Amino acid sequence: MADAAACDRRPPIVSVRSVTRVVGARTIVEAVSFDIAAGEVVAILGPSGSGKTSLLRMIAGFDAPSAGSISLFGSEVSTAGRVRVAPEHRTLAIAFQDATLYPHLDAVGNVAFAIRHASSAERKRKARDELASMGVVDSDGRDVATLSGGEAQRVSLARALAARARLLLLDEPFGNVDRLTRKDLIARLKTRLSTAAGAIFITHDAADAVELGARVLLMRDGRLVADGLPGVLAAGEAGDWARDYLRAGTTVDG
């Protein structure tokens, strides 16, 4: 019982409090608040311009909130107008829609780059294992410029996972792949995320959240309008707009 009580007292791994982001005269994100517990997989959904990418950038530390605060693992990392902890010191890993691979490294080298505290041989071994988990084999010495879009995204995801970060951020990870590749990547990623410390991903397709079993943060016009499991939101418990949006199954990028 004491162990359970201690777990209940642990702070959330992500805590967003009344976060607002204003650019020029435009409010991009407005008074958004939520917590994410250890082990949770959370999808940020919303139409174009809803503020979901801006929110992710603030969690990553690329942008500062204009108001409010963000804490990671119990420590405040951003406050109004200030990034207190730089992105590289936030113990997180990021994969983007456009796989950004190091052109001077092969696929194994790209993934090995994310692995720390191991010998060169061990890093390469672990990199190959991560690549295999994402469906990439025989990648030693292969120029990343020769990879297809789907292959490049597999390498990008493998690199993010290899970092063993305390928080994984995925920005439209399936946006540039075909449907068959998407289905395969979701199945592989779901297995890996089941043991992850926590993950936040943005997707242009609400079905991604359903297939990954993710909790949904639904945004509209910069505000958080619904928070819950996809099935609950699609049943109408968060209002007609959230219901219709989730039932539509497909959203546009934003």
pLDDT tens digits for range 64-103: 999 999 999 999 999 999 999 999 999 999 988 887 899 9
Q: Is residue 107 part of a domain?
A: yes
pLDDT of residue 34: 97
**Mean of the pLDDT values across residues 18-25?**
96
**Mean of the pLDDT values across residues 29-52?**
93
The position carrying tokens 């084999």 is: 137
Single pTM value for the model: 0.86
Q: What is the largest CA-CA distance in the chain?
A: 55
pLDDT of residue 172: 86
pLDDT of residue 48: 83
Q: Is residue 237 part of a domain?
A: no
**What is the share, in percent, of the chain residues with pLDDT greater than 90?**
60
pLDDT of residue 108: 95
pLDDT of residue 249: 65
In order, the DSSP letters of 126-137 are HHHHHHHHTT--
Lowest mean pLDDT among 8-17, 64-73, 162-171, 212-221: 8-17
Q: Distance between CA atoms of 192 and 177, rounded to whole angstroms?
A: 19
Q: Which residue has the higher pLDDT, 155 or 253?
A: 155
pLDDT of residue 2: 41
Phi first, then psi: what are they for 115, rounded to 5°?
A: -95, 130
Binned at pLDDT 50, 70 and 90, residue 250 comes out as very low
Q: How many domains does the chain have?
A: 1
Task: Quote the domain boundaries for residue 124.
Answer: 103-158
pLDDT of 28 higher than 70 = yes
Q: Distance between CA atoms of 141 and 157, rounded to whole angstroms?
A: 19
Q: Is residue 233 part of a domain?
A: no
Q: Distance between CA atoms of 72 and 100, rounded to whole angstroms?
A: 25
Q: Is residue 147 part of a domain?
A: yes
Among 3-17, 121-135, 167-181, 186-200, name the most confident range. 121-135
Q: Is residue 22 part of a domain?
A: no
Q: Is residue 67 part of a domain?
A: no
Binned at pLDDT 50, 70 and 90, residue 9 comes out as low
Binned at pLDDT 50, 70 and 90, residue 1 comes out as very low
Q: Chain-wide mean pLDDT for the chain?
A: 88
- List b or e across 85-123, with b for residues whose CB sees 16 or more CB atoms inside 10 angstroms: beeeebebbbbbbebebeeeebbbbbbbbbbeeeeeeeb
Q: Is residue 76 part of a domain?
A: no
Among 24-38, 96-110, 139-153, name the most confident range. 24-38
Q: Is residue 119 part of a domain?
A: yes
pLDDT of 5 higher than 50 = no
pLDDT of residue 35: 97
